[in-house]
Amino acid sequence: MNHYFEIKDLKVGFKTFEGYKRALDIEHLAINKGEAYGLIGESGAGKTVLALTILRLLAMPPSVVESGQIIFAGENLLTKTEQAMRLYRGKRISMIFQDPMSTLNPVFTVGEQLRQVIQYNRGTSKREAERIALETIDLVKLPDAKNIIQKYPHELSGGQRQRIIIAIALSCGAELLIADEPTRNLDVTIQAGILKLIAELQRDLKVSVLFIANNPGLISAVCQQVAILHEGRIVEKGTVREVLRDPVHPYTTAFLRAIPKNKQEKIDLKKLVAFGEAVRNGGCAYFSRCLKRQEPCSSASPALKLLGGTHFAACHLGGERGER
Ligand SMILES: Nc1ncnc2c1ncn2[C@@H]1O[C@H](COP(=O)(O)OP(=O)(O)OP(=O)(O)O)[C@@H](O)[C@H]1O
Ligand SMILES: [Mg+2]
């Protein structure tokens, strides 16, 4: 099947003082046009490294792309020159970075920042860029656009700032939006507004979205498909319903259980921390924390297997369902 965006056998690592460290090993991930794809994983799983690899924004060295393909609209981004990548970044693929507070430049008004991005990427006149800037602010549902564009970032609330960042990301007509934990520092009511906005923009503008989060609740509010990332590998993927309602991999089950459904529910922390020896050579990366481990988990790394529908999991236990 031809996907609009596809990652194949991607391996990325870092040269560190302790030696080479593999941070990403993704067999396959595909996003269809206009689809919102969620990527969930705990801190350090490799979510931001993946986003930066797609846009080729990782510094090399210390990072190394060992192998793989990142195919966007039929072209492999990993073979593009730096100059060719500039035709993709911002114009066709945009990113909302993890930290909304430091993304905007504090010494320019938000209107100036929006205008500069539009002028640079679209090659428009200053006046035309200003007009598009006002339109884009309306698009992200900020009232009184003429007043907002004159403000400096510190004069706006966290939620307003994040809407400006989304406006900048969409101002040049990007077809793929990578949102790296876009609501991380926002309180829950503001979070809900931003999620609703991203879902509406995805639906109305037919933008494909790679939505990164460490909270499954956020993913289910926005996405149709989801992948669970553990230590740089996808351990389970499928539709949101298949993976979050009916998880199979013991890591997905433990991850979902870490969020209490009500105040009375107790979390068994023993289930979430390492209790066994980590496996170094060839075994499953979840071995040391897995309560269901058995042979050959310590010696063979499980590949992603189709369980039915579009549901895949990388676990030797195969189809044994985890309970939530
Ligand atoms: N420049 C770097 N040099 C060495 N290792 C790095 C570098 N950048 C990232 N890493 C490592 O890559 C791994 C993945 O990091 P990444 O930032 O992608 O995590 P994440 O899933 O985005 O976590 P978080 O939810 O905290 O943002 C981590 O183990 C991190 O230490
Ligand atoms: Mg991150």
Q: Average of pLDDT values for 101-126?
A: 89
* Ligand 1 binding pocket includes 40 (Cβ within 6 Å): no
When mean pLDDT is compared across 8-22, 179-193, 293-307, the lowest value belongs to 179-193
Q: Which residue has the tokens 């066709």?
A: 92
* Ligand 1 binding pocket includes 13 (Cβ within 6 Å): no
DSSP per residue over 187-247, as a string? -HHHHHHHHHHHHHHHHHH--EEEEEES-HHHHHHH-SEEEEEETTEEEEEEEHIIIIIS-
Greater pLDDT, 224 or 283: 224
* Ligand 1 binding pocket includes 23 (Cβ within 6 Å): yes
Q: Which of 12, 49, 64, 228, when mutated, tests ligand 1's pocket best, judged by the most ligand atoms within 8 Å of its CB?
A: 49
Q: Average of pLDDT values for 191-211?
A: 86
Closest ligand to C-alpha of residue 13 is: 1
**Secondary structure element (H or E) that encloses residue 307, with its range:** strand 305-308
Predicted model pTM:
0.87
- Token output for 272: 């979430």
- Ligand 1, atom 29, lies closest to the CA of 44
Q: Which are the contacts of 261, defined by CB distance < 8 A and separation ≥ 6?
A: none
Q: Which are the contacts of 135, defined by CB distance < 8 A and separation ≥ 6?
A: none
* Ligand 1 binding pocket includes 48 (Cβ within 6 Å): yes
- Token output for 114: 């929006």
- Ligand 1, atom 28, lies closest to the CA of 44
* Ligand 1 binding pocket includes 2 (Cβ within 6 Å): no
Please list the residues that pair with 7 across neighbouring strands.
29, 70
Q: Is the pLDDT of residue 115 over 90?
A: yes
Closest ligand to C-alpha of residue 41 is: 1
- Structure confidence at residue 322 (pLDDT): 46
d(CA 263, CA 167): 38
Q: Which of 15, 47, 178, when mutated, tests ligand 1's pocket best, judged by the most ligand atoms within 8 Å of its CB?
A: 47
Q: Average of pLDDT values for 83-99?
A: 87
Residue at 114: amino acid letter: L
Query: Could you tell me what percent of the chain has a pLDDT over 90?
Result: 44
d(CA 162, CA 182): 7
Q: Which residue has the tokens 């009232």?
A: 143
- Structure confidence at residue 70 (pLDDT): 95
d(CA 104, CA 212): 20
The CA-atom distances, in angstroms, between 132 and each of 30, 114, 140, 201 are 32, 9, 13, 16
Largest CA distance in the chain: 67
- Ligand 1, atom 2, lies closest to the CA of 14
What's the CA-to-centroid distance between 24 and ligand 2, angstroms?
13
- Ligand 1, atom 16, lies closest to the CA of 46
SS3 content of the chain, % helix, strand, coil (to 5): 35, 25, 40
Q: What are phi and psi of 57, to 5 degrees?
A: -105, 5
DSSP-derived secondary structure letter, 154: G
